[in-house]
Structure 1
Amino acid sequence: MTSMKSLLGSALLLLAVPCCAQADILVGFVTGLSGPVSSIGIPNAKGIAAGEAYVGEIGGEKVRLIQLDDASDATASARNARKLIEQEKVDVLIGTSGAPQTLAMATAAIEMQVPMIAVSPIASVPAGEGGPWVVQTPQPMPLLVQGIVDHMKARGLKTVAFIGFSDALGDLLYDSLSHSAKAAEIKVIANERYARSDSSVTAQVLRALAARPDAIMLGGTGTPGALPAIALSERGYKGPLYGNNGMISADFLRLAGKAANGIICPTGPVIAAEQLPPSNPIQKVALAYRAAYEKANGEQPTDGFSSYSFDGWVVFVDAAKRALATGAKPGSPEFRSALRQALFATKEVVGTQAVYNFTPADRHGVDARSRVLVQIEDGKYKLLP
């Protein structure tokens, strides 16, 4: 009799569990909270927190974020991605800070067949089994650099020198400049590189100046990206100076100080949200992002990186809604597959940096609406026509 009562009790307990209960949607987020890329990684973490504050539930299902620090190390980025997939069973990956780190993370995601949203620019990655698995929110570097070259051409400039990082990001920037400049009949007459950990770029700056270029383009980001700007200012350089979207950063402005004045950078519309015309759909989302950022972090954003991770969250939320509509359950291979398919069918999703339209043939999913030019003036970003 006791045994029968136990069985009946167990049966009643099973009946009491809701038959339609689902697991939380799990998001694995990797960023560099320490190390040389932390000036990008910390803002990325604040941006993802803003995303959570903006939308914390999808179709009645809770979203749980699991965050890991890769310490700006590509090996740790890949290891963290595997840990999140194998141990935490995440449905999607978002990350990380730095091009080499993001590439390492993407490689793991593709191998293990989990969709990923990259929040740093990366070079081409293999499609993987059954097609692509990775999209990215940062504008493709060629599109951004094209804005710089167009500006150079309009000013009648004929030669340019490049001073940038000696890593994958530096290569990406230089290659983009070379390609666009050639088409515009502008010669790249110097290619100087330095490591993110270097404390001086005097030799590189002197060689670039010795080439007597009409303009100089800087290919660094964050805190170490300020070194060439400072060195050029100290040597009295007064010519046109161009930067990149990685210089939209409070750390860069603080370190570069007056040396940053006059630098023209291509960037996403969010940086000049208040200066955009009200007809621009990005303005509304960009202002909502700032409100969510302040809610999550207790301060206003002062960088250009956090909005990429926020947009990653926006893209994920839109895709997750459509994945849930297929009936697939979070935590299952079917949901990950549905989420992947939804990502690559994204249409006109408005973020802070762009209006996204991903396809299997286009992991960037952005157009000219994602690019504006701003000029730094006393720590402010002035929108250029």
Structure 2
Amino acid sequence: MRTGILLATLTTALFTLPLPSLAQVKIGVVTSATGPTALVGIPQKNTVPLLPTRAGGLTIDYISLDDASDPTQTVTAFKKLISEDHVDAIIGPTGSPNAMSVLQFAAESGTPMLAPVGAASIVLPMTDQKKWAFKTTQNTDIIAQALVRDMVKRGIHTVGFIGFSDAYGDDWYQVFSKLAQENGLKLTVAERYQRTDSSVTGQALKLLAAKPDAILIAGTGGAAALPQSTLAQQGYKGQFYQTHGAALPAFLKLGGKATEGTILAASLMLVLPEIADSNPSKPIAQDYIQRYEARYQERPATFGANVYDAGLLLQHAIPAAAKAAQPGTAAFRKALRDALEQTHELVATQGVYNMSPTDHSGFDQRGRELITVKNGAWTLLR
């Protein structure tokens, strides 16, 4: 009798003991889901629920914040995630100026930052501060090389430039002007504008007066359409080129007929049905698109895929970091940074990543396609 009572007591005790929980990795996410950059930030924020929630034997928890497209709020969000939430890494922020504003805080705290932004200056040239930053979009030079090669092929001799008056525009001007000179292209005029400008008539008149064979516009989303529409309305008949920042439906919608024939180099996701099934990124991109569409009833922008790829990079790196230290510690964050640097042939939605101590973007030519606008839609340039 006593034995039965003892067994029953032990059994009850075993079932009431708390079960051991899986170790948790905390990842902060900062996006511009509101404000001027929201067209880019919304698909990034929407992608967070689709990110991996397990890596090896660890669970991954995401803490998502909106910086309203304001670099000052980006700083506040980063500080909160680092000092209050004690995250192990941060995905974001959305804009290049925002990312530049928080580089020092990622470095000072030793927190890896995976920035889905365009400007290569986030990771280049490599410094002690930038070694904590990684980039999940194609570096400017990879995109610019494809555009310059196409310009030379078409017999273009003179080019005008207009770009954002911020880190994105600065980066594009520096990279493109150097490549243009090396390839015998003359940059006749360079103009700038703000992301929030409603008119660029003055800049457009200067570009028209220079009569370049082609014009390269370095902007993002709908804001990239403003100079092109203005120039087209004023009678410019030359070839328009855009950067991968224009790869949003808003560019096509706001630019309308003025976008027809535009050439850009960007992600395979824009033209996925035309991509060969042998491309290793195609099934991963298809899976991401299908999951996004099932949740939101709309197709994701490539900018959302940049956040998705950040999640894949972290999922790949976390098990190696966990062998060195426990999540939530400075040692784990350093090990995670080191593991990200060792990424080799990781296939994701945008291309294939190969990181190193000097390359924190990792894309090669597999991360771009030459694309044009035909009948109001993206299509492979053939």
TM-score, reference length from structure 1: 0.90
For 2:184 and 2:199, the matched residues in 1 are separated by 32
Identity rate, percent: 37
Shift of 1:333: 2.2
Aligned length: 366
Could you tell me whether the CA contact under 8 Å between 2:40 and 2:221 is conserved in 1?
yes
| Aligned residue type for 2:311 | W
Shift of 1:327: 5.4
Greater displacement, 70-79 / 202-211: 70-79
Query: In the alignment, what sits opposite 1:309?
Result: 307
For 1:242 and 1:75, the matched residues in 2 are separated by 32
| Aligned residue type for 1:83 | K
For 2:105 and 2:22, the matched residues in 1 are separated by 27
SS in 1 for 2:264: strand
Superposition map of 1:226-375 within 5 A: 226-301=225-300, 303-324=301-322, 326=323, 328-375=325-372
Query: In the alignment, what sits opposite 1:5?
Result: none
1:69 aligns with 2:66: yes
| Aligned residue type for 2:306 | Y
Query: In the alignment, what sits opposite 1:116?
Result: 113
SS in 1 for 2:281: helix
Change (3 A) 1:125 1:47: farther
Superposition map of 1:1-385 within 5 A: 16-17=17-18, 21-50=21-50, 52=51, 55-122=52-119, 123=121, 124=124, 127-128=127-128, 132-301=131-300, 303-324=301-322, 326=323, 328-385=325-382
Query: In the alignment, what sits opposite 2:10?
Result: none
| Aligned residue type for 2:40 | I
Shift of 1:164: 1.3
SS in 2 for 1:28: strand
CA deviations 1:215-242 (Å, max 9, x no partner) are 1111111122111111122122221110
RMSD: 1.9
Q: Which runs of 5+ in 2 are unaligned?
A: 1-12
For 1:298 and 1:39, the matched residues in 2 are separated by 16
For 2:331 and 2:112, the matched residues in 1 are separated by 12
| Aligned residue type for 1:298 | Q
For 2:299 and 2:319, the matched residues in 1 are separated by 29
SS in 1 for 2:197: coil
| Aligned residue type for 1:98 | G
For 2:75 and 2:125, the matched residues in 1 are separated by 14
Q: Which runs of 5+ in 1 are unaligned?
A: 1-11
Shift of 1:115: 0.9
Shift of 1:379: 3.0
Shift of 1:125: 6.6
SS in 2 for 1:281: coil
Could you tell me whether the CA contact under 8 Å between 1:23 and 1:331 is conserved in 2?
no
| Aligned residue type for 1:236 | G
Q: Point out 4+ residue stretches in structure 1 off by more than 4 angstroms.
A: none
SS in 2 for 1:233: helix
